[in-house]
Chain A
Amino acid sequence: MSEVIVITSGKGGVGKTTTTANVGTGLAKLDKKVVLIDTDIGLRNLDVVMGLENRIVYNLVDVVEGNCRIKQALIKDKRYPNLYLLPSAQTRDKTAVTPEQMKKLTDELREEFDYILLDCPAGIEQGFKNAVAGADRALVVTTPEVSAIRDADRIIGLLEANELKRTDLIVNRIRMDMVKRGDMMSIDDVVDILAVNLIGAVPDDEQIVISTNQGEPLVGSDALAGKAYMNICKRIMGEDVPLLDLSANNGFFAKLSSIFKKN
């Protein structure tokens, strides 16, 4: 049975696209047939994070307008044969697609794929409505910041209004050293405020920046963020995986400051 999952956040820059790339790649690593759809028309990004920007011929708008068949627009990933990307159009805007067209598209893809992941644009306007239209469930990405959490709360309300079956929360860019100092809200604080099921937390890891530079998602790697993303994938598939101890892998500065604290 296939599932359509929208990755959304309300606020921009909290890690929707990175999460989509990593969760999609992770599910493909776990032998699922996956397609990633970039629904951010006009601000195409998922292709560069996936490292597939040089292979684009057709895009989402071409498919919806009937300029090509779905299969022609799908880009096969260079690492995983069961992972595909449907890129967004760069020269159009959100009004080029309607929610009804998106629903029709995702329903067609259901026949072929196990997981259809939709990378949602920031905001709550047309782009959000398009992305949510065909979705069964949502992953809401937030960071432990006042602005991101406020927007996440608004998004969760809108998702409820759209009657999605399930909404899960990903707390991104958490810094355990700051949480310990009391200068960042903890994962529990965020979950407490938003009152929604937590499906995983991802540490603020510089390996993410490096992997984005290279266009290769780091899911499944030894980096703490890579492990965290892999656990999220397993939980999406229904596995019961305990939460990762994000403070286990303290960086150089954390070790340094702990030495000073002892003195």
Chain B
Amino acid sequence: MGLMDFFRKKNSGDVAKDRLKLLLISDRANCSPEIMEMIKNDIIKVISKYMEIDAEGLDIQITQTESDGRNGNVPALFANIPIKDLKQTNQDK
């Protein structure tokens, strides 16, 4: 297992490149942490209407993704929202 981990470990140069790519997207977009926090809170409000989610574990960030068109990479809002319980709020209705 240890040996496999060793081979799977990412080069630090690649780690740096990936970190920078994300960093520069938010730098260039001029999207402040405050605005990100507001977006996050709004997302929590909306999703919470329909299901119980883990607000603590929610993670949003601006990343790059390949577009369907031919414009190459475009910025995208990525949100990871852990769901605690899908049914509960549905059953209540």
User: Does A193 belong to the interface (CB within 8 Å)?
Assistant: yes
Q: Tell me if B8 is interfacial: C-beta within 8 Å of chain A.
A: no
Interface of A is mostly: helix
Minimum CB distance partner of B10 in chain A: A182
Chain A residues with CB under 8 Å of B12's CB are 182-184
Please determine whether A186 and B21 come into contact, CB atoms closer than 8 angstroms: no
Judging by beta carbons under 8 Å apart, are A193 and B27 in contact? no
Q: Is B16 an interface residue, CB under 8 A from the partner?
A: yes
**Is the beta-carbon distance between A183 and B11 smaller than 8 angstroms?**
yes
Q: Does A230 contact B (CB under 8 A)?
A: no
Q: Dominant SS at the B interface?
A: helix
- Whether, in the assembled complex, A71 has its beta carbon less than 8 Å from a beta carbon of chain B, the answer is no
| Nearest-Cβ distance from residue B50 to partner chain A, whole angstroms | 39
> What 6 new A-B contacts, CB under 8 Å, besides A144-B16, A186-B13?
A153-B27, A178-B13, A182-B11, A182-B14, A185-B17, A193-B21
Is B79 interfacial (CB-CB < 8 Å)? no
- Chain B residues with Cβ under 8 A from A237's Cβ? none
- Residues in B lying within 8 Å of A, measured CB to CB: 11-14, 16-17, 19-21, 23-24, 27-28
| Distance (whole angstroms) from the CB of A241 to the closest CB of chain B | 27
> Which are the 7 A-B pairs with shortest beta-carbon distances?
A182-B11, A183-B12, A182-B13, A185-B13, A189-B17, A146-B16, A184-B13
Cβ–Cβ contact B11 & A153, under 8 A: no
Closest partner residue, chain B, to A189 (CB atom): B17
A157 within 8 A of B: yes
Query: Please, how many angstroms separate the alpha-carbon atoms of A178 and B27 in the complex?
Result: 28
